Amino acid sequence: MKFPTRLFWGGKFKASQLQILLADSLTIFWGEWLDLRVRVAQVAASGLVSPLIYIVAFGLGLGSAIRPGSGISGNYNNYLEFMLPGMVALSSMTISFAGTTFSICGDRLFNKTFEELLLTPIHPLALHFGQMLAGVVRGLMTAGSVIMVALLLTGNWNFLNPLFLLLLVLNCAVFAGLGVIVGLSVKSLESVGLYNNFVIIPMSFLGATFFDPATLPTALKVIVYLLPLTYASTGLRAAANLPLSQFPWYSLPILLMSAITLAFWGGYKFAHQQD
């Protein structure tokens, strides 16, 4: 089944169209929120398990043998302080992607209610934004739990500063957008596991969550800086621990453009989705 694409694809943009897009996006999001709100504690707690394991194993265990200047910058007091912002980025990435992907797959492959969504007179971009917003909320729930742990362990209130939170939202938007595209593309839940194994897990360890990219050889730097999680991790780390003059401002437009690109890709997928 194909979607009409008059509103933005090829037509002249009007302010009223933006209002319609926003209203429709919030409508789709509200439908997702009605299902999500009864599982807030479950979502927040389930996404906290892996970060806690990493914090205990690497931050408190292995990290006790790592000193500033040996593999990490000397601007940090200890390795735990260095890795906690990366854990916020990692947890928000994982839940934003997985929650969005499985939500769409469940509707498409099991509940068989996805066709009803495609039949609604809503623009494809609004469908993408609505699903993406739900993914962002899922990511923020889990990231909020990790931030609470970080506050308890470090007492660093910069985890709540506006720049840190802006980067966190952008990171959630990027991976929720990716989750929408994967959810629309896969033919079975087993296929989701392939994306997780070949995209999300490698990015978890290569996305600058556990190491400083500046210490890598040039060839590896090229690979690491192709990953959006790298910009989220380094940006969150700088926002939490470094002065504003050392903040990598390029991370904001890179994450924003990544989210916008995925949004148009997701809109295209919705417009040509056949189920």
String of DSSP letters for 231-267: HHHHHHHHHHHS-GGG--TTHHHHHHHHHHHHHHHHH
C-beta atoms surrounding 252 within 10 Å: 16
pTM above 0.85, yes or no: yes
Question: Exposure pattern of 172-202 as b/e (b: 16+ CB <10 Å)?
Answer: bbbbbbbbbbbbbebeeeeebeebbeeebee
Compute, in degrees rounded to 10, the torsion defined by CA atoms 179, 43, 200, 194: -70
| Residue 177 confidence (pLDDT) | 95
- What pLDDT shows up at residue 12? 52
Quote the radius of gyration of the chain (alpha carbons, Å). 19
Confidence (pLDDT) at 4: 44
Q: Are 231 and 147 in contact (CB under 8 A)?
A: no
Nearest to 97 by CA among 186, 222, 208, 24: 186
Q: Is 24 buried (19+), middle (13-18) or exposed (0-12) by CB count in 10 A?
A: buried
Please, are residues 21 and 122 in contact by the beta-carbon 8 Å criterion? no
Q: Residue 208: left if φ>0, alpha if ψ -120 to 50, beta else—which one?
A: left
Q: Which of 21, 269, 259 is nearest to 135 (CA)?
A: 259
pLDDT in tens, 34-82: 888 877 777 777 777 888 888 888 877 766 666 655 556 657 778 888 8
Q: How high is the pLDDT of residue 118?
A: 77
Cβ 82 vs Cβ 60: under 8 Å? no
pLDDT per residue as tens digits for the range 227-244: 999 999 999 999 998 888
What is the C-alpha separation between 143 and 147, in angstroms, rounded? 6
Contact by Cβ (8 Å): 84, 150: yes
Q: Which residues of the chain have pLDDT under 50?
A: 1-11
C-alpha span between 58 and 40 (Å, rounded): 28
pLDDT score of 225: 94
Q: Are 131 and 180 in contact (CB under 8 A)?
A: yes
CA angle, residues 28, 29, 33, in degrees to nearest 5: 125
Least Cα distance to 148 among 219, 84, 57 occurs for: 84
